[in-house]
Structure 1
C-alpha cells in the first residue's frame, strides 16, 4: 500500500467514528440492555422479572470486566487467525 492509500483509509476510519458524534452530540448513551428493558416495558406494562442478579458490580468493575472480555476475545481471535495463516503457509 502506498502512503496515499493509507492516508485515505485513515481518513475514512476517522470519518466513520466521528460522524455519529457530529450528527448527534447530545444523544444519550444507552446499551442494548436498556433498549430491551424499555421494549419489554412498552409491550407488557405489568411484566415482573422472575430472576435477580446475585451480584451487582460497580460501574468501574463492570467496565473492567467488559474490557477483559473484549481483550480475551480479541486475543483468541488473533490466535486462531494466526494459526490458520501459519497452516496455510506450510
Structure 2
C-alpha cells in the first residue's frame, strides 16, 4: 500500500512539475525547428510537396495529433488484449 502511494505521488509530481519549469518561450515542436535549420542551411530550398490538409489552428492540429495517438494506442492494446485472452483460453483446456 505504501509503495502504491509513493508511486502515485511520483506520477502526480511528474504531471505537475512541468507547469512550473520555465521553458524559455512557447514550445513549437520539432517540425518548426527542422524548418528553421533547413532555411539556415539552404535558404533556396523548395519543399517537394504541400500538406494535403492544413488545420485552421494549433488547437485543431493538437487535437488531431492526440486523436491519432489515441487510435494507435487503442489498436495496440486491443491486439495485446486479444492475444492475452487467447492465451488464457488455451491454458484452460
Name the TM-score, length of structure 2 as normaliser. 0.72
Root-mean-square deviation (CA), in Å? 2.2
Whole-Å separation in 1 of the counterparts to 2:17 and 2:25: 13
Does the C-alpha gap of structure 1 residues 28 and 16 become closer, same or farther in structure 2, counting only changes over 3 Å? Answer: same
Q: Which residue number in structure 2 is paired with residue 64 of structure 1?
A: 63
Q: Which residue number in structure 2 is paired with residue 38 of structure 1?
A: 36
Query: How far does the alpha carbon of each residue in 1:6-65 deviate from its partner, in whole angstroms, 9 at most, with x for none?
Result: 211111112223333323255311112112112212222332223222332212443332
Q: Which runs of 5+ in 1 are unaligned?
A: none
Name the TM-score, length of structure 1 as normaliser. 0.73
Runs of 4+ aligned residues of structure 1 deviating over 4 Å after TM superposition are none
Whole-Å separation in 1 of the counterparts to 2:39 and 2:19: 28
Q: Does 1:20 align with 2:18?
A: yes
